[in-house]
Structure 1
Amino acid sequence: MTTQTADLIVSSNAVFTGLSDRPEPAAIAIAGNRIIAVGSKEEISKYAGEETKRYDFQDQLVMPGFHDFHLHVMHGAVMMESAMLFSARSEAEALEIIREFAQAKPNEPWVIGAVWDAGYWDTQRLPNRYSLDRVVPDRPAIMFHAEGHYVWVNSKALEIAGIDRNTEDPAFGIIGKDETGEPDGLLYEKAMGAVVKHAYHFTKAKKQELFKNFLAHAASLGVTAVHDLFATESMDMLTDYELFKEFEDTGELTARLHLWPALDGDLERAKRLRETYQSDKLRVSGLKQFIDGVITARTAYLLEPYADQPDTRGETSFPPETIKKWVVEADKEGFSIRFHAIGDGAIRLAFDAYEEAQKTNGKRDSRHSIEHVEVIHPDDIPRFKELDVTASMQPDHFAMSERGVYTERIGLAREPHVFSINTLQQAGARLAFGTDFPIDILQPLLQVYRAVTRIDSSGENVWHSHERISLADALKAYTAGSAYGTFREHELGTLEAGKLADIAVLERNLFAIPVEEILDTKVRLTIFDGKVVFEQAETLVEK
């Protein structure tokens, strides 16, 4: 029997296959787009031929490619070219960043920025349109809040969107008003759409450029698979599945794209999309919708009122009965469903909808999930295992909100049940990690760092140390957990013979360094579908 010749052989003293909790010395033989063998260097040497490329990474970590379970591709691509405001510690600092950014891009029709958070500002007061008018008087400007559920816009943007004192709030949306009844420049939830649809009106060529930049960025971070989730109707106009298909057809797709269009009752459209996009690189994996908003804007849906505003507990984005009806119908058609659910009321409603689908349609291997799972009622923790629902989480989210502001909103009684990653895992929940890019940066190792340390954004304080998980479990949640969440555990998520060759190589062995060094670790090499799609210039190749 002739031994198959490998196109690539990757070896290291630290190979994390995902099948155990520690890396081990090993070599991986790759032919075409598959792993054909994993074993010792001696065992794998028989797969080497004259044309085989060999990489020996000595003590650097070889692992499955990162599989980001929750992000927004094109919205993120836009944000990569926008003013980044997270570092601002006052409104004045944010405005200066915006002013400099606008001056540097005089020909852009819109001034777009992101990731501001007044919770970190010296006054902790929300901004208004008038301050933005002072630094961008001549063009429309839109600044996305760090959580992405509200925006700060200037007067020009309101004018273009046709928003004035007489404009009524849309369903599940709020147009902020000042004491005189005039729009104050803050738009919450679905009220954002009127402005976003104008800001995101791009040409096909611009979309191609944005997507190309996103793919290159993802490859440089070892990300080989992503889940592009429906964001909002206005942002969805930017998403272009046909564009993704063109990149696949020309061989330019360097990450697997799992598409999650809207769960909105239109199952005929959903089924057409599922039939159209079903390859191993580009596929519709299910449907996604929002049940609520976010804690800091008090749009997350809670079981009990907000501690700092007792007249509200948030609301659901659609009536609960509509949400349940959509789930039952989509589940019957074999769709996996994912719900943005941050408040304990929203999380409970998601479980209730999934449970109703099981009772109506019968139990099946559905792989439904709940996104974010920030504030959960303890009674609902066991339901992840009972209903076999994936907990899709982004560990850095707890460090993105100012902890004092977050706790003021929910109160001390609910605070122990925030971002309960380890508690969920111990209760049998399947974890899948992602970034929610561009709400957070597309950096898997930042999420891993937060999961294993629980250190908040101060860099010093630990938020619930008992919710730390092990490094191995964090990496598995970012690889095997995501693969399982989309029915791909047979071909992705671990390094085994027969699986697709999606591999990341890190410049340091994460298991052998102090945890703080995780943040500084770079990617040396990224292999996607058996081909090298990113490598540092100094990577050594042996012939």
Structure 2
Amino acid sequence: MNKQCADIIIKSDSIFTADRDLPLQGAVAVKGDTILAIGSEEELGQYKGSHTKEIEAYGKLVTPGFHDFHVHLWLGAMFQEYASLTFCGSEEEAAERIAQYAEQHPNDPWVLGFGWHHVRWPGQKLPARHSLDQRIKDRPVFLLNEEAHSAWLNTKALEILGIDEMTPEPPFGVIEKDEDGKPTGFLYETAVGLAVEAFNLPSEKKHKLMKSFLEKAGRLGITSIGDMLPLPGFTLGDLEEYKRFEDEGKLTVRIHFLAPLDGDLEKLSYYSRFDSDKLQLSGLKQFIDGVPLTYTGYLLEPYSDRTSTNGGTIYSKETYFKWIEEADKKGYRVRLHACGDAAVRLALDAFQHARNVNGPRDSRHTIEHIEVIHPDDISRFSELGVLPSMQPEHLSSSSMESHEYIDRLGPERLPYTWPIGELEKSGAQLVFGSDYPIVELNPMLGIYRAVTRKHEDGTPSRGWNPQHKISIAKALTHFTRSPAYGNFRENDLGTLQAGKKADIAILDRNLFECEPEEIKGCKVLWTIMDGRIVYDIKNNPKA
């Protein structure tokens, strides 16, 4: 006699459970928020009841819900909501675009825009307040760049924020000044934190931002994220809004958030109230360096196209060692932004120091980005149990010839850029994410890039540094099982197994059988989170 009836039974000839490399044929039964069973259709027939919803997904791929390990939720929601400057080809074009946006939104207290980057403009000249002042004089303008490491303000914004020629620069921050010593309106790295007032939003706007992000995640099959609240010089996110959505039963993405690592462990008690299976503290984050694109990534040797610098760190080596040792002793996991090879080495050294002082433990300390590494440091990840958290979409450019890192890093370092394959072979526990909104949230882009290592124009034909390509099974694993492990959720998330949470995505094609070029065009048909269908493409025909 059947004891339980499933709420949902999914049938497919390709179920990727993520606890094995190849998909299996059969069915998945869901009861409440849990996977009831997985097996053959015949075996799972016993769970079918009069109210069981059956989903036939033959020729499709059933996979655990995607788990994006590196997201900036609130920043991404703002990128979606406010003026997009991503495709502006010059300072004048960006200024004109934001002026049009300001006219269309006369009631916004701050005129906000996102996504510009001067490195793509003719001459790569930094923008200044004057081009904004010519169009918007009486309202403050704040424009965050594509990588969230610099901002462009008008004079009104500088006045409101009290930024003038006497304002001290924060560590690792720059207030760009003209020949008269007056701020130009360009803020660099941690100096962006001086303008955090621009992010104070009314409650109705917060609700709209949260709702739009959750809808976007649902369309992309994402059921869990790591939310990186700390940014250079400030923290951005709204845990109270997240909690409000959870309390109302509307939180359709599990959020594992990071708090700042700043030497003050006492204040972390505030986060103890956020401790559910949908919203919880997952560790502490800090920045070692900036990004090589703007010469702020910390390199062991000088930049090939600017030999006067090798970048630098936000804090001293001694500060990192002290903060990480203390946090590790208290049982916190630490995640460090480290793009340059010297930053990666410093992060590994800091984690090794904490291990030497406090003893080994299952810390799952993590290094973010690893855009370039010295080959001597590759094996240290597995030796120390440090997780390399990488975002494959970051390696792409419009073409191989236009990739800025060719000039920045030079031929000797290029083979060790985004070294996914070598880290995989070394036994390191890789974890994937997007770094949304710095790049798009869509996991298919990261999967495609990890498998092919091709740029937007399809070059090189064998991929950039093909030794770092990985299989489709590994790429899917690093967007599902690996992040669950990274967030200490391997016992209830990340794989399709009986007893685990019913977080499932159903794709419109079988990625194990399609050509690699088709991966980018793959869409999600259904997203199930906690046993609930939170997205059905039939109800979203324009998706």
Which category of TM-score, normalised to the shorter sequence, fits these structures? Answer: over 0.9
Give 3-state SS (helix, strand or coil) of 1:510's partner. Answer: coil
Look up the match of 2:297.
Answer: 300
The counterpart of 1:268, out of the listed 263, 266, 271, is 266
1:293-372 → structure 2 map (5 Å cutoff): 293-372=290-369
Does the 8 Å CA contact 1:200/1:235 hold for their aligned counterparts?
no
Aligned-pair CA distance for 1:49: 0.6
Q: CA RMSD in A?
A: 2.0
Please state how far the C-alpha of 1:231 moved relative to its aligned partner.
2.2
CA, structure 1 residues 121+153, in 2 after alignment: closer, same or farther (shift >3 Å)? same
Verify the 8 A CA contact 2:110 2:198 in the aligned structure 1.
yes
Asked if the contact 2:79–2:115 (Cα under 8 Å) also holds between the matched residues in 1, the reply is: no
Matches within 5 A, 1:394-473: 394-399=391-396, 403-461=402-460, 462-473=463-474
Q: Deviations over 1:211-237 (max 9, x none)?
A: 12211211111100011113237652x
**Equivalent residue for 1:174?**
174
1:240 aligns with 2:238: yes
* Residue 538 of structure 1: how far off its partner (Å): 6.1
Give, in whole Å, the separation in 2 of the partners of 1:477 and 1:235: 29
Counterpart residue type for residue 473 of structure 2: A
* One-letter amino acid of the counterpart of residue 170, structure 1: P
Matched residue type, 1:245 = K
CA contact (8 A) 1:75 1:235 kept: no
Shift in Å, 1:166: 3.0
AA aligned to 2:348 is F
Cα distance in 2, alignment partners of residues 159 and 406 from structure 1: 37
Structure-1-length-normalised TM-score: 0.94
Distance change >3 Å, CA 241–CA 148, structure 1 → 2: same
- CA distance in 1: counterparts of 2:410 and 2:153, whole angstroms: 30
Q: Deviations over 1:319-358 (max 9, x none)?
A: 1111111111111111111001111111111111110111
Contact 1:7-1:32 at 8 Å conserved across structures: yes
* Structure 1 contact 218–224 (Cα < 8 Å) conserved: yes
**Amino acid of the structure 2 residue aligned with 1:493:** G
Cα distance between partner residues in 1 of 2:238 and 2:163 = 28
The one-letter amino acid of 1:24's match is L
CA distance in 2 between counterparts of 1:234 and 1:219 reads 31
> 2:505 maps to which residue?
504
Cross-structure match for 1:231: 230
Give, in whole Å, the separation in 1 of the partners of 2:264 and 2:166.
32
Cα distance 1:414–1:135, how it changes in 2: closer, same or farther (>3 A)?
Answer: farther
Separation of aligned partners in 1, 2:398 and 2:177? 24
Per-residue deviation at 1:400? 5.4
Tell me the equivalent position of 1:536: 537
Residue identity opposite 1:508 in structure 2: R
Structure 1: unaligned runs, 5 residues or longer = none
CA offsets per residue over residues 222-269 of structure 1, 9 Å max, x none?
Answer: 100011113237652x42222222221221110111011011112122
Amino acid at match of 1:353: A
Q: Distance between the aligned counterparts of 1:368 and 1:182, measured in 2?
A: 42
Alpha-carbon spacing, 1:486–1:305, altered in 2? closer, same or farther (3 Å): same
Q: Cα–Cα, structure 1 residues 67 and 432, in superposed 2: closer, same or farther, change >3 Å?
A: same
Name the CA distance, whole Å, in 1 between partners of 2:46 and 2:59. Answer: 22
Equivalent residue number for residue 377 of structure 2: 380
% identical equivalent positions: 48
Q: Is the 8 A contact 2:398 2:457 kept in 1?
A: no
Distance of 1:113 and 1:539 partners within structure 2: 28
Tell me how far 1:271 sits from its aligned partner: 4.2
Q: TM-score, normalised by structure 2?
A: 0.94
| CA spacing shift, 1:83–1:384, aligned 2, 3 Å | same
Looking at structure 2, the residues matched to 501 and 397 of structure 1 have their Cα atoms a distance apart, in angstroms, of: 30
Deviation at 1:272, TM superposition (A): 4.5
Letter paired with 1:252: K
Q: Does structure 1 conserve the Cα–Cα contact (< 8 Å) formed by 2:9 and 2:27?
A: yes
Deviations 1:441-494 (A, max 9, x none): 211111111111111244434422222111111110001110111121121111
CA contact 2:191–2:233 (8 Å) conserved in 1: no
Q: Which stretch shifts more, 207-216 or 451-460? A: 451-460
- Per the TM alignment, residue 389 of structure 1 is displaced from its structure 2 partner at its CA by 0.8
CA contact (8 A) 1:288 1:339 kept: yes
